[in-house]
C-alpha cells in the first residue's frame, strides 16, 4: 500500500439497503496495479445494493523535476517486492531506461477526471490504460502527451481531453477527491471504504485473496 506525499467494526448494511464502496486509488500506485485481479473479483461478486465509486487519492503533486536516482532505485525495488508478494504481477523495467521519471502522479489523476467528464463509461478504461501504459508498455503517465495518446486510443476526443486535462475545474475536482479520501478514512492506496446507514467503515484487503474483503462485506 502506498501513502500520499502530504474502528471498531460496525454492522454490515442489511440486504437491500443501498451502500457505497469507495475505492480510493492513484493510477500510478504500484500496489493498486498489483490489486487489479483481486479488485476485479471483488467487483464481480458485489450485490446490486453495493455501488462502487472511485476516488482519486493523489499520490504525488505536480513536478517538473526529474526523479532523483535514489528514488528511482527505491521505486524499482518496490516493484520487485510486489512481484514477490503478489505472484502474477508484472512490471516492465524498461521504463527506467526509456523514460525520464518524475515523482508526479496528479497528471494521471486529472486524466481520469477528464475521461470521466467526457464519457462516464470510460473512467475504469482510462485507469486501466494508464496502469498498462506505465507498468507494461514503459510509457510515462506523468507526461500530458502520454495521457492524450492513451485517451485517443480509448476513442475519446483528444482535443477535448487535452483542454480538460489541465483545466481549473479538473484540478478543483481532483483536490476535492483528495480531501474526500482523507476525510472518509483512506489509509494509503488502495483503500476500500464502505458507506452505509451506520457511516463510513474501513474495509481490509488482501492482495492475493478477494475473500478477505468479501467476508467483511457479508458476502
Nearest to 130 by CA among 41, 26, 35, 22: 26
Q: What does the alpha-carbon distance between residue 31 and residue 79 come to, in Å, rounded to a whole number?
A: 9
Residue 36: CB atoms within 10 A of its CB come to 19
pLDDT of amino acid 2:
63
pLDDT of amino acid 78:
98
pLDDT of amino acid 17:
77
Residue count (the chain): 219
Angle in degrees, CA 57, 194, 119, rounded to 5: 55
Do the Cβ atoms of 162 and 150 come closer than 8 Å? no
Do the Cβ atoms of 177 and 55 come closer than 8 Å? yes
pLDDT of amino acid 16:
52
SS3 103: coil
- What's the fold here for domain 19-216? Glutaredoxin (3.40.30)
Counting as low any pLDDT under 70, the low residues of the chain are: 1-16
H/E stretch holding 192? strand 191-196
pLDDT of amino acid 140:
99
pLDDT of amino acid 15:
46
pLDDT of amino acid 14:
43
Q: How far apart are the first and last CA of the chain?
A: 24
Please state whether 63 falls in left (phi above 0), alpha (psi between -120 and 50) or beta.
beta
pLDDT of amino acid 44:
98
Amino acid at each position: 500500500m502506498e501513502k500520499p506525499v502530504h474502528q471498531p467494526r460496525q454492522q454490515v448494511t442489511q440486504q437491500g439497503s443501498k451502500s457505497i464502496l469507495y475505492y480510493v486509488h492513484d493510477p500510478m500506485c504500484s500496489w493498486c496495479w498489483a490489486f487489479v485481479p483481486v479488485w476485479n473479483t471483488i467487483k464481480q461478486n458485489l450485490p446490486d445494493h453495493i455501488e462502487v465509486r472511485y476516488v482519486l487519492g493523489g499520490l504525488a503533486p505536480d513536478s517538473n523535476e526529474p526523479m532523483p536516482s535514489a528514488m528511482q532505485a527505491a521505486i524499482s525495488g518496490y516493484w520487485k517486492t510486489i512481484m514477490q508478494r503478489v505472484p502474477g504481477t508484472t512490471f516492465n523495467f524498461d521504463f527506467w531506461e526509456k523514460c525520464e521519471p518524475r515523482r508526479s502522479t496528479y497528471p494521471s489523476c486529472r486524466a481520469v477526471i477528464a475521461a470521466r467528464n467526457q464519457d462516464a463509461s470510460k473512467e475504469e478504461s482510462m485507469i486501466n490504460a494508464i496502469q498498462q501504459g506505465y507498468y507494461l508498455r514503459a510509457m510515462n503517465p506523468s507526461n500530458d502527451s502520454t495521457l492524450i495518446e492513451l485517451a485517443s486510443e480509448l476513442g475519446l476526443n483528444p482535443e477535448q481531453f487535452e483542454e480538460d486535462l489541465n483545466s481549473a475545474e479538473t484540478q478543483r475536482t481532483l483536490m476535492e477527491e483528495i480531501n474526500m479520501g482523507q476525510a472518509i478514512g483512506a489509509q494509503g492506496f488502495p483503500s476500500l471504504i464502505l458507506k452505509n446507514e451506520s457511516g463510513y467503515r474501513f474495509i481490509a484487503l488482501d492482495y492475493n485473496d478477494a475473500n478477505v474483503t468479501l467476508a467483511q462485506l457479508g458476502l
